[in-house]
Structure 1
Amino acid sequence: MSTTASSLGNSSYIDVLEVVATEKFIEKPESNIVVKSLNGDDFEIIRNRKKQLLIIYPSGIIVEPGNHLTPTQVLKTPRVKFNGDRNKYYLLVMTDPDAPSRAQPTLREFVHWLVGNIPGDNVCSGETIIEYVPSAPPQNSGDHRYTFLIYEQPGQIEFDEPRISNTSISGRPNFSIRNFANKYGFGEPIFGNFYQCQYDDSVPMIYSMLGVVL
């Protein structure tokens, strides 16, 4: 069963973020999991990270490491929280290493969301490079791992990447967060989380939004 914000009591939305971040993720690092690129092709689950990225969707769903969500549950841009230093800048990425399928990931990675120059943990104040698009795994392609990572930037950066809207697929397939991180001098990711997802009836609508012909 997926955890939802409503299952955590009658607190306000931001209170729920604070409670979960404090009680569940920061104080229990042994439960943390990060997915990161090791050699540009393989993704491995790394356990025992100090901190975990908290993601809550407007549907009320909370991302827990490896839980199974549906495209319908993740249609809208989530709220993201992590224990960032207010005097530093960070980058958030969401990618799918299993595009178009885990068995044949010829489009690895498909980037769903990219935000840089995030001051502290205030993602809304960051610079959106690639706008969020929801999970849309092809029919009969099995589980996809949708991976969120946070990198600490060496400072505020002038990114020279093209900006990609949420109605465009251009520039999304065959993205490499490893190459991107190396280009701008980032180290390893410091926060992370992921969920798994399969096709549902909302996927054709998402493809239509992106101009993909089925």
Structure 2
Amino acid sequence: MTDLEAAYALIDDANARDPNLISADGASVPAELIYGRRMTAMLARVYPNASDDVRLAVRAQHIRRWEVPRASYPMDRPGYLRWRKDLGRKHAEWAGEILHGLGIGADQVARVGALIRKENFRRDAEAQAVEDTAALVFLAHYAEDFAAKHPADKVVSILVKTLAKMSDEGKAAALSLDLSAPVRGALEAARAAGSGP
């Protein structure tokens, strides 16, 4: 087993403890376990030549996410932003513990952590690939449920912000996804607002 495969197995083991279950392919599965696997599949589709550092960052993007619940922060914009920043640090820390345990060097662990936090993603092509992958997984697997629970203008506003953080390659990949009619319509509206390719 390679270091990458061993790390995937340990990340999946951690995420398999997620008490939040979702339906996927007809089965009830831990939410973050399937999220990590979806991230890996999307990365392979859009960035097949990604480095192991990117592959690890993508798989660990939401590791043990349920342990830092959104409700533990103020339910306003500053609270949301602080929650996201703290989550990034915790995900990097938890992934780093796994990688250290596998004997992976400190430099690589630090690099994977920086990618998990998506540091300088506009200037770092690998961090941008992580950002793109997260956005594409949202569009492919979670945007339909989000759209069903929120007003159309809010959905378009979220997608405008999502597209603004994506690379041209990521945006092109978004257009190739098999999306539901409401999500496709919202995506087209977001592009028309000036954020698309």
Whose helix proportion is higher, 1 or 2?
2
- For normalisation by structure 2, the TM-score amounts to 0.25
Instruction: Work out which structure has the larger RCO, using CA pairs closer than 8 Å and 6 or more positions apart in sequence.
Output: 1
More strand by share: 1
Report the TM-score when normalising by structure 1: 0.24
